Structure 1
Amino acid sequence: MSLKDEEHIEVKHLEATAVSTGLSPEDLLFLRDFPQERRKAVLWKIDVRLVPLLALVYLFSFIDRANIGNANIEGLSEDLNLSDSEYNTCLAVFFIPYVLFEVPSNYILNRFKRPSRWMGSITMAWGVVMTMAGMVRNFTGLLIVRIFLGVTEAGFFPGAVLIVSKWYLPSETQTRIATFYSASALAGAFSGLLAAGIAEMDGIGGLEGWRWIFLLEGIMTVLIGVLCFFCLLDSPALSTSWLDPDEIRYLELRQQADPSRRSAQDTKNKGFDKDALISVVTDWQIYLQAVIYWSNTIPNNALKFTMPKIIQNMGFDTTRAQLLTVPPYFAGAFSAFGSALFADRFTWRMPFIAIPQLLVVIAYAVLFGLAGDIQNNIGACYFAVVLACIGLYPINPGGNAWTLNNLAGPTKRAMGIAYMVCLGNSGGVVGSYIYRDSESPKYPTGFGTSLGVVVAGFASCLVLDAVYKLINMRREKIDMDEIMDRYTQDELDRLGDRSPLFRYGL
């Protein structure tokens, strides 16, 4: 074959690809020929600017929602005269507005030209609320603060996942999500360290040590919110100070060339998209993903609120108990990041969710069996707490990346990831009630419920992977000519991930 014939074939191939992606042949040639070393360099530029800041904000997000557990063993319940049920209600009520406001927040964020403005505003807002928690005088005051904390924190995590999806391709998302999600594990570690140190301020200014925990950590969050306004990335087109024109063009074109970005037309400027919302609410995969999410949120939120007390039951004083919460969370952070690296490398999510779930099953089986005599089983029970964290923290980054990969179109993706996280975080309400002081130290309800929900999540993970494979196999068998005869290109775009041309990511 002559060189001229080869060039002719390449032009025809580019023209065909241009039709399927919506890009011009010139854009496709630019995308194809963009040097590999420059691709790595531009991703590194994004990584160092975006991921650390998201991790920092998420770190304080989790510190601010979970530090009530640290404050409690420093005397919060005694000083406010809280009963066990009142304390658990304050834990649970956070999740009601948190769940309700996730989808609206992501819808608003998706319409912002500068996401940094929205994310910075909500971060500052919950920092102010956290600061006010240090001034409450009774159950009602604490309850109101927890409600407003849920309202203001609701948008951050689904918003952060959405921002990651706008800068990275599906095969690159889990490592980045896991990196900033690892901050939630580190939050548990730093929360214990900060609480142990700040509680030493007891009596300064006439305030109890637990009040200083809320006050100082809230002020730090406000300052981080201000930082978001100036440092959080918005879009390649608005990043001319650190990206050159070719890098901006490459980042924009590779997003346009991704089939899942093009499928399902973007209605960003057409007002509220009722069809996208219906597509999200009726999408079977989101509900299986929510069960997987519950296998993290129910045991994890419960453990965050109760771990200091569980360790204190082993016979340690409050300061030692605060400090001993640190190693389990560090182990969870390393586990989340390591699992994500392998999941992105092999582009297969299921094993790197299911195996951690099995570790959690083992951990809670040990605790369920031995915690009744915890002071004679300190080593085994503490190891089980560490093992639980190792298993819990890879689940959510894997589930979020899996969901992102299988929702086509920017509007459905924005609503879908928020809706799935919304359903999943409703498990936090359950997690707030399953550990009862009257059952200490055995906690049969807490450990038993955690064990059962993780088994359900493990089953959902296997079912989801099997169904994705089955649907992909069926779609592979459909003749392309039959598809083109039956649908117009516009109809295929509107079908999104339900299109016979779409393949679910495993």
Structure 2
Amino acid sequence: MSEKKVDTTAGDETSAAVSINIIPADPEVQGWDEKATKRLLWRLDSHIIPFMSLIYLLCFLDRTNIGNARLDNLERDLGLHGLQYNDCLAILFPFYIAAEIPSNIMMKRVRPSIWLTFIMVCWSASMIGQGFVKNYSGLMATRVFLGVFEGGLFPGVNYYITQWYCRDECGFRMAMFFSAATLAGAFGGILARGIAEMSGVAGLGAWAWIFILEGLLSILVSFTAYWAIYDYPGTARFLSTEEREEVQRRLKADHGHLSNDYNPKYVWQAIKDWKIYIHMLICMAGFCPIYSFALFLPTIIKNMDYTANNAQLMSVPPYVCACFFTVTASWVADRYKKRGVFLLGFQLVAIAGFSMLVGNSKPSVQYAGTVLAAIGIYPQIPLGLAWNSGNIGGSLKRGTGIAMQVMGGNCGGIVASYVYLTRDGPRFIPGHSILIGFVSMAFFLTLFMTTWCSRENARRDQVAAGAGSPEELTEEQKMLERELADDVPWFRYTC
């Protein structure tokens, strides 16, 4: 329990981890060979990733279970008509987006164990309240609160991961964490099928019980979050003193002597960085089909002539396949220290999947298209987040840049709410075509960024040929460079 009593300034993420002139330079001297480092990473993984994945699974489930609830007479019982259902989907995202940068700043100012617990309790309460709404206005109001409190989790946890792992280790961990979204889709379909039997219990419809029971599950987990979340490497009670020092040494070696102080100017550095806006667009083009799938896949499958109950169950396999490829692709990408080429490959798979949905009316072909589309779209998010975060220097700029990227991604959620309209069923050809356009845009932007990063690295290599290495810099030179973020001459981008 000692971690919870530390001073927040002294323990603030990498303030201990990246302060200059500490940590021995040679890990071999300290006995940290490759085998010992793998054991240390496994120790971090086993204490950090499982709980982060669990809370994101619950977050994504709570955000998207309205798609399952729709099959259990949500619209009929609340008297929704026209685009009102789509409005209820879309209203979440502006508030979700608005919360992201402030939330990541709060992650910097307040310990993660406090902040993440707070927002989790609040969104769980909103979820439970959603089960008791009686009309369109009530559903809209609860979706607003859900967006406000859920908005900080995804960018917050991705930022949190960068405070424990080196740049070429983050992608796999982000994928493990994000794969919870695919599991949420699979788990949500199975759970909704079971809860459907509760229709009429206590005078509530099955859709209401979906919201209430899943909200209760989230709030139960949130009560353990404060003790289950470890704040920073310098205060992690599951690590020995030597292990804490090695984690901090590795982070300093990876990020160099760039500043990790809290200063608003680093927020502005991120806001003025054009590269982050490209990543925002790529992320938006990734999240748009993901949210479209999560919110409408049960409806799409039902329109392939499956019953409502079977459609809930048939929505599971695409998510299981997506989960496998999300984790595997990010592990391979970390191993080869590449991101762009993997993104390009999965974007082509997604385009192929949606093209099958557009071009063929056979249910078997369409279902195969949904599987291919899921495999293509889900790996893009952790790959893209690891790519952007690894190419940003400095802690606060990185945190802001990740939040901006996820903000862009969730703009795709607003579009996704109106991609599949009832009038376009049962084939939804306009919606599938829109998603092909979004993924194609992401493909060309990814190709541009991959080319630019490669050329910029080559240019910096030429400049560096006549200059000294970072290790040869004096302390005065390091102090001058520590505010330059990824503009320092020795920084190299991941392609």
TM-score (norm 1): 0.90
Pair 1:500 & 2:492 matched: no
Q: Which residue of structure 2 aligns with residue 187 of structure 1?
A: 184
Cα distance change, pair 57–261 in 1 and its aligned pair in 2 (3 A)? farther
Mapped partners of 1:250, 1:31: distance in 2: 11
The CA deviation at 1:336 is 0.1
**Residue type matched to 2:134 in 1?**
R
**1:280-306: per-residue Cα shift (whole Å, max 9, x none)?**
112111111112212221111112111
The CA deviation at 1:28 is 0.9
TM-score (norm 2): 0.92
For residue 338 of structure 2, give the secondary structure of its aligned residue in structure 1. Answer: coil
**Residue type matched to 1:104 in 2?**
P
Q: Which residue of structure 2 aligns with residue 369 of structure 1?
A: 359
Q: Which residue of structure 2 aligns with residue 266 of structure 1?
A: 260
For residue 163 of structure 2, give the secondary structure of its aligned residue in structure 1. Answer: helix
Mapped partners of 1:459, 1:35: distance in 2: 41
Q: Which residue of structure 1 aligns with residue 299 of structure 2?
A: 309
Counterpart mapping for 1:141-156 below 5 A:
141-156=138-153
Q: Which residue of structure 2 aligns with residue 330 of structure 1?
A: 320
Q: Which residue of structure 2 aligns with residue 341 of structure 1?
A: 331
Q: Which residue of structure 2 aligns with residue 109 of structure 1?
A: 107
For residue 233 of structure 1, give the secondary structure of its aligned residue in structure 2. Answer: coil
Mapped partners of 2:25, 2:477: distance in 1: 23
Mapped partners of 1:224, 1:208: distance in 2: 25
**1:401-428: per-residue Cα shift (whole Å, max 9, x none)?**
0011111001101111111111121110
Mapped partners of 1:261, 1:160: distance in 2: 22
CA contact (8 A) 2:303 2:427 kept: no
**1:123-154: per-residue Cα shift (whole Å, max 9, x none)?**
11111100000000000000000011000000
CA contact (8 A) 2:464 2:490 kept: no
Q: Which residue of structure 1 aligns with residue 279 of structure 2?
A: 289
CA contact (8 A) 2:394 2:485 kept: yes
Q: Which residue of structure 2 aligns with residue 167 of structure 1?
A: 164
Counterpart mapping for 1:392-411 below 5 A:
392-411=377-396
Q: Which residue of structure 1 aligns with residue 447 of structure 2?
A: 462
The CA deviation at 1:235 is 1.7
Which has the greater radius of gyration? Answer: 1
Mapped partners of 2:332, 2:34: distance in 1: 21
Mapped partners of 1:492, 1:197: distance in 2: 58
**Residue type matched to 1:262 in 2?**
H
Mapped partners of 1:261, 1:329: distance in 2: 39
Structure with bigger helix share is 1
Selected match of 1:489 from 478, 488, 492: 478
Mapped partners of 1:280, 1:256: distance in 2: 21
CA contact (8 A) 1:109 1:159 kept: yes
For residue 24 of structure 2, give the secondary structure of its aligned residue in structure 1. Answer: helix
Selected match of 1:237 from 230, 234, 237: 234
CA contact (8 A) 2:65 2:188 kept: yes
CA contact (8 A) 1:261 1:409 kept: no
CA contact (8 A) 1:286 1:420 kept: yes
Selected match of 1:206 from 203, 206, 209: 203
Pair 1:431 & 2:421 matched: no
**Residue type matched to 1:497 in 2?**
D
For residue 484 of structure 2, give the secondary structure of its aligned residue in structure 1. Answer: helix
CA contact (8 A) 1:190 1:326 kept: yes
Q: Which residue of structure 2 aligns with residue 13 of structure 1?
A: none
**Residue type matched to 1:399 in 2?**
G
Q: Which residue of structure 2 aligns with residue 221 of structure 1?
A: 218
**1:323-344: per-residue Cα shift (whole Å, max 9, x none)?**
0000000011001001011101
The CA deviation at 1:261 is 5.2
Selected match of 1:360 from 350, 362, 365: 350
Mapped partners of 1:225, 1:381: distance in 2: 39
Cα distance change, pair 21–138 in 1 and its aligned pair in 2 (3 A)? closer
Mapped partners of 1:449, 1:155: distance in 2: 28
The CA deviation at 1:21 is 9.5
Mapped partners of 1:469, 1:151: distance in 2: 38
The CA deviation at 1:30 is 4.3
Q: Which residue of structure 1 aligns with residue 367 of structure 2?
A: 382
| Consecutive unaligned residues in structure 2, runs of 5 or more | 1-17
Mapped partners of 2:92, 2:459: distance in 1: 43
Pair 1:254 & 2:250 matched: yes
| Consecutive unaligned residues in structure 1, runs of 5 or more | 1-19
**1:21-76: per-residue Cα shift (whole Å, max 9, x none)?**
9445x711346542332211121111111111111111111110111011011000
CA contact (8 A) 1:31 1:250 kept: no
**Percent identity for Structure 1 against Structure 2:** 35
Pair 1:178 & 2:160 matched: no
Quote the RMSD (CA, aligned, Å). 1.8
**Residue type matched to 2:242 in 1?**
D
Mapped partners of 1:55, 1:274: distance in 2: 30
Mapped partners of 2:394, 2:464: distance in 1: 24
**Residue type matched to 1:274 in 2?**
P
Mapped partners of 1:254, 1:31: distance in 2: 12
Mapped partners of 2:168, 2:58: distance in 1: 28
Selected match of 1:64 from 38, 46, 62: 62
Mapped partners of 1:228, 1:480: distance in 2: 49
Mapped partners of 2:292, 2:256: distance in 1: 37
